Amino acid sequence: MPASIQSDQFAQLSNGTKLHYASAGQQGKPLILFVHGFPEFWYEWHAQLEEFGGDYFAVAPDLRGFNLSDMPADLSAYKAKHIVDDLRLLAQHLGYEKFVLVAHDWGGAIAWNFAIALPQLLHKLIIVNSPHPYLFMKALATDPAQKASSEYMNWLRAEGSEAALAKDDFATMENLLNGMGKAPAPWFVGEVRAKYHECWSRGLTGGVNYYRASPLHPPTDDHPGPLKLQLNPEDFRIKVPTRVIWGENDMALPKTLLDGLNELIDDLKIERIPEGTHWIIHEQPDRVNRLIRGFLSE
């Protein structure tokens, strides 16, 4: 029987940020934190909350800038270190010193940073279609195919992108969800579509500010992005047991981003889903749940 979800909860963090979150299960059981990406919100993980709320305290926050969480006006507030701090303080607010972190897309970018900076706070790290920051930086700087695949990031970074995304009842937002697969997304209909529109109507600036605040984007004449970074791969080593689920039919994040991942992670397993797109969590929720449960039981 699926666990029931409570979706009307807020945490006032000690750094001044108020995060909205949904949860399933009993506080006191092991914490598993699910972190969404762009252009999503906590509801991305509803099938996982229902599945894992039975034996975990399963929590899915809206990241700062999204949906019902605070939306700071200052662009610098969207740097990864501040969002990592939000997750640390959220776990602390919930009464936990250590937890399992599951994340997708931008949530995954934050989760990689979290595992690098604060490995002592994580039991395990589970990533879904989100590239390791060192490998992504290298690909953006040197791989023409990756630069072309990621060109949408520069469009999102541009002034006024949020207005363009909202135009014609969020037509471009819907194309992001449909177009990053090979065909219209059958999961994005009815009640789900309505929930996403409700979320987007609360504001899109916070979401696109993640792109604007990040140095990881295709280089341009005005913004060299990764070309100006001189990074040591050892500074990006992951010492937490890590499992990666990757839909290989991801148009923006191709499977080549997995190449070399084993050299940066001490304990790694990768599960490839050839037919899965960037939105594999929605396409095959039961399979994703089985894989997560398998990782947790190892």
Q: What percent of the chain has pLDDT over 70?
A: 96
Domains of the chain with CATH codes: 5-297 (3.40.50.1820)
- Judge contact between 219 and 137, C-beta under 8 A: no
Average pLDDT, the chain: 94
The answer to whether the beta carbons of residues 12 and 89 sit under 8 Å apart is: no
Distance CA 20, CA 57 (A): 16
Tokens of 132: 């390791």
- Crossing angle, helix 80-94 and helix 105-117, to 10 degrees? 80
Q: Print the SS3 string covering the chain.
A: CCCCEEEEEEEECCCCCEEEEEEECCECECEEEEECCCCCCHHHHHHHHHHHCCCCEEEEECCCCCCCCCCCCCHHHHCHHHHHHHHHHHHHHHCCCCEEEEEEHHHHHHHHHHHHHCHHHEEEEEEECCCCHHHHHHHHHHCHHHHHHCHHHHHHHCCCHHHHHHHHHHHHHHHHHHHCCCCCCCCCCHHHHHHHHHHHCCCCHHHHHHHHHCCCCCCCCCCCHHHHCCCCHHHHCECCCEEEEEECCCCCCCHHHHCCHHHCECCEEEEEECCCCCCHHHHCHHHHHHHHHHHHHC
pLDDT of residue 292: 98
> Are 27 and 56 a contacting pair, CB within 8 Å?
no
Please report the pLDDT score of residue 216 as a whole number: 84
Residue in 248, 264, 265, 245 with CA at minimum distance from that of residue 256? 248
Catalytic residues: 105, 211, 278
**Confidence (pLDDT) at 230:** 73
Local mean pLDDT, 10-residue blocks, the chain (298 residues): 95 98 97 98 98 98 98 97 98 98 98 98 98 94 90 93 96 84 78 96 98 87 67 91 97 95 97 96 98 96
pLDDT of residue 133: 95
| pLDDT at res. 56 | 98
